[in-house]
Structure 1
Amino acid sequence: MSSGPSPSSPGCSPGAWASNDTASLLLCGARLTDGRTVDVRLGGGRIEAVGTAGSLGGGRSCGTRVDLTGYLLLPAPAEPHAHADTALTADEDGPVSYHPGDVQRRATEAALLQLGHGATVLRAHVRVGDVQGLGALEAVLQARRSLRGLAELTTVAVPRVLTGLAGADGLAMLRDAVKMGASVVGGCPDLDPDPTGYVEAVLDVASEHGCPVDLHTDAADPARLSRLAAMAGGLRPGVTLGPCGGLGDLPSDLASRSADQLAAAGVTVVCLPQGGCGGLDRRGTGTAPVRLLRAAGVRVAAGGGALRDVSNPVGRGDPLEAAYLLASREGLRPEDAYDCVSSAARAALGLPEVRVEAGFPAELLAVRGDRLSGALSLAYSRIVVHKGRVVARTSAVREYCNSAAAAELGLPRQGRGELS
């Protein structure tokens, strides 16, 4: 399996990798989830036109062509809950290094891995204060700058304690983090001696700077969730909670009541079907009751959480795996499961909607296959489009030895076939 830009990749002309943001790009022969086969013309970072296959190639020069025959074209996923400062540390000996150079390298590599999976936008939670001070945040912001044009990386400043004497430094650090460039404030109130005071402090800083809030919580305490929902209600540009696995431990009537309160407050819940959340220092927590929350009217997005750190040493950070788990474990329809990692995830990040229609942002993912259910099951080969450019391609090939069974399946002479 290969990943990343390659001018010699089949079905993609060399110019697709070199085109700038304003160049015209024609995606040919893509299949949509409604069964249509279409050409899609991109320009200026947006979708300019969608027409039946072969209808957009004449007249106006289409620029670079990318053959998407055999691919399903989807709105690109977004990653609403990553941990860039601790990613890829599971195999390291000793304590996690927060040296800025190490953090920047890990954050960049992790973002590129997730981009290869299809996530063109990522929200990374970064710890501030304690031994790392603001160094880890500065390193992730540097990674963000180096990724410009490939993927969008936004940061959440996450202090450990915000109340009492010990919290004074954390509060000052949180304000400094926003001035430095963190675009979201958050943290884990469950770890503070005064969870309510922690939330109040975060909401105050968010109001001062007009920025969103993204809080970690897994409390199975309906009273605490009720207070949090009441405090968060009405805050703009909004409040996100995750992973909320503790909701699944509540009796059904209490869980339903909490879901209704979260819906009334306009809170978004980001669940982590793949498990692992470095901000909680807790393992074995189940996924939030997604169907219950959605039925109550809560916007539910899904994130990857830990990417090969101590919380989940085998975390993949793959949005399609998150959607697959929501469909296979939680019983969501494939379309609803994918919505959690695409449209709902983008909305949680305050981003505009993406549809494969003219006028929408050219943030797209092409996966080998013709149906969404199959893509969630076996989506190995992927082509990722960000701001109208092909920015990543993964191609997987399986080979079989010559045999009667392979011949009966209609495989090529050498028993070679591209994986979905």
Structure 2
Amino acid sequence: MPDSQPQPHLPSNSPNPSGGLLLCGARLTDGRTVDVRLGGGRIEAVGTAGSLAQGPARAGAQRVDLTGYLLLPAPAEPHAHGDTALSAEGPGPASCTPEDVRRRATEATLLQLGHGATAVRAHVRVGDVQGLGALNAVLQARRAVRGLAELTAVAMPRLLTGVAGADGLAMLRDAAKMGAAAVGGCPDLDPDPTGYVEAVLEVAAEHGLPVDLHTDAADSARLSRLAAMAGGMRPGVTIGPCAGLARLPAEAASRAADQLAAAGVTVVCLPQGGCGGTDRRGTAPVRLLRAAGVRLAAGSGALRDVSNPVGRGDPLEAAYLLASAHGLRPEDAYDTVSATARATLGLPRVRVEAGFPAELLAVRGDHLPGALSLAYSRIVIHRARVVARTSAVREYCNSAAATEPGLPRQGRGEVP
């Protein structure tokens, strides 16, 4: 059947008009249909459908018809790889030249923005051959997307201990001074994982930065030490993807989860896979972690690089997988890519209520379970501006038209 609901009409100019932005007829997760007025980067008012369109004060407001759309707090991406994204399709090893990294990081951020992520944390390697070049390139990409999305970088040296790690440690300090928003890396790659974590925590304390570490080790003792070291660290410590937890005996995994919760560590899982090699894929035991009280966020991980050449970088896919394959309620699954992901990045909470930041995602559909079914039609709002729109149309033909070109179409509708 043809889709009887109108498609949204978006503002044709990018700057926010003086009259603000009015979202009309949006559906909320509690079932209400509302109008939402945006201005000054925030939600100014939420009212029943039609109630905010009256009066001369808002005569200049640009309107977006969201009839048939579900309005949600925008997701954030807590675990991207800005320096390697979109590198799988080229011949040979990924180019590490600053220009190529800047171009790929910019394109990757815009792709993730199109999916709804108005904030992205990119993990970037520093030291070794690339020095600080890749980090500088990602920081240039950050400037290129300013006003569209918030891109931040985590500096990740390979080694930090012993003679071989001295250069990495100096590079990590330089990265913090350059503008890295967090420090981290993968302690599993260092001969002294505990010493590696100690070095990262020391640099973080020196510069007042958060910590974001990679680990997939199936080693409960190592996770216990990490939790003990991270306890009391402010700003807090994030680790991921922690797929090794799923390979531990149940009792050991439960004990490690309790220790991570007690230390206040946030775990970022990657249900789409693709942070390590093909033999290290998997997802942390998310239900166990949530039951222990661990703050759990979800990221997309690799975006079409050697670790996952078909990675989509789509937060809704991550939430869909947590709901469909790991038993989370749709509301809890979406929270991992929105509220908790934003908190992981140190961003303010978003609700569709007056006074909250206007970081929003409109998805074609009536309810959250449908929206998580990899919906394609999306409108993304950052700082009270429409910054991206994705729309897909599906056409239906009768059986004769399927084999005989030129026969009339039977139906047409927008793909969710």
What's the TM-score, normalizing by structure 2? 0.94
CA distance in 1, matches of 2:139, 2:69: 34
1:73 is displaced (CA, Å) by 0.3
SS at match of 1:132: coil
For residues 194-343 of structure 1, what are the structure 2 equivalents within 5 Å? 194-277=192-275, 280-281=276-277, 283-343=279-339
Who is 2:405 aligned against? none
- The answer on whether the counterparts of 1:218 and 1:244 sit within 8 Å (CA) in structure 2 is yes
The 5-angstrom pairing of residues 337-376 of structure 1 reads 337-376=333-372
Matches within 5 A, 1:38-57: 38-57=34-53
3-state SS in 2 of match to 1:130: coil
Q: Do the aligned partners of 1:367 and 1:382 also contact (CA within 8 Å) in 2?
A: yes
Find 2:11's aligned residue among 8, 11, 14.
Answer: 14
> What is the aligned counterpart of 1:176 among 166, 174, 177?
174
**Deviation of the 1:22 alpha carbon:** 6.5
Letter in 2 for 1:120: T
What amino acid sits opposite 1:43 in the alignment?
A: G
Query: Alpha-carbon deviation of 1:13?
Result: 3.9
Give yes or no for the alignment of 1:398 onto 2:394: yes
Q: Distance in 1 between matches of 2:254 and 2:221?
A: 13
Match of 2:71 in 1: 73
- Over 3 Å counting, the alpha-carbon distance change for 1:22 and 1:80 in structure 2 is farther
CA distance in 2, matches of 1:97, 1:44: 40
Report the identity percentage: 81
Out of 45-54 and 281-290, give the one that drifted further.
281-290
Kindly provide the CA deviation profile for residues 367-419 of structure 1, in whole angstroms up to 9, marking residues without a partner as x.
0000100111141100000000000000000111246999xxxxx96521101
With over 3 angstroms needed to count, the CA separation of the structure-2 counterparts of 1:405 and 1:340, relative to structure 1, is farther
1:58 maps to a residue whose letter is Q
- SS, match of residue 88 in structure 1: coil
Q: Evaluate the alpha carbon distance shift between residue 137 and residue 23 of structure 1 in structure 2; reply closer, same or farther with a 3 A threshold.
A: farther
- The Cα offsets for residues 61-102 of structure 1, whole Å up to 9 and x where unpaired, read as 151100000000000000000001000111221121110110
1:29 aligns with 2:25: yes
Distance 1:308 1:354 in 2: 30
5 Å-filtered alignment, 1:53-202, equals 53-59=49-55, 60-61=57-58, 63-202=61-200
- Residue deviations 1:175-212, cap 9 Å, x none? 00111110100000000000000000000000000000
* Other structure's SS at 1:93 match: coil
Q: Distance in 1 between matches of 2:202 and 2:183?
A: 10
Unaligned runs of 5+ in 2: 1-5, 403-407
Q: Distance in 1 between matches of 2:93 and 2:277?
A: 15
- Equivalent-residue separation in structure 2 for 1:338 and 1:376 (angstroms): 8
Counterpart contact for 2:364–2:377, Cα < 8 Å: yes
In 1, Cα distance between equivalents of 2:230 and 2:277 = 24
Aligned in 2, Cα 1:22/1:86: closer, same or farther, shift over 3 Å? farther
* Structure 1 position 10, deviation (Å): 4.5
Query: Structure 1's 22 and 207: CA in aligned 2 closer, same or farther, altered over 3 A?
Result: farther
1:261 offset after TM fit, Å? 0.2
Q: Assess if the C-alpha contact under 8 Å between 1:218 and 1:242 holds in 2.
A: yes
Alpha-carbon distance in structure 2 between the residues aligned to 1:307 and 1:139: 17
Read off the aligned partner of 1:12 and give its amino acid letter.
Answer: H
1:90·1:309 contact (CA, 8 Å) conserved in 2? yes
* CA displacement, residues 300-320 of structure 1 (integer Å, 9 cap, x when unaligned): 000000000000010000000
Q: How many residues align?
A: 404
Counterpart Cα distance in 1 of 2:45 and 2:181: 33
Residue pair 2:211, 2:237 contacting (<8 A) in 1 also: yes
> What is the distance in 1 between the residues matched to 2:29 and 2:390?
21
**2:216, 2:280 within 8 Å by CA — same for their partners in 1?**
no
Higher alpha-carbon deviation: 214-223 or 372-381: 372-381
Worse-matched range after superposition: 396-405 or 99-108: 396-405
Q: Distance in 1 between matches of 2:157 and 2:18?
A: 40
Over residues 245-293 of structure 1, what are the superposed CA-to-partner deviations in whole Å (9 max), with x where a residue is unaligned? 000001111111000000000000000000001xx44634210000110
Distance 1:162 1:21 in 2: 50
Q: Secondary structure at the match of 1:300?
A: strand
1:399 partner SS: strand
User: Counterparts of 1:14 and 1:224 in 2: how far apart (Å)?
Assistant: 52
1:3 counterpart residue number: none
Render the CA deviation track for 1:327-382: whole Å, top value 9, x for unaligned. Answer: 01100000000000000100111111100000000000000000100111141100
Residue 380 (structure 1) aligns with: 376
**Letter paired with 1:287:** T
Partner Cα distance (1:282, 1:197) in 2: 27
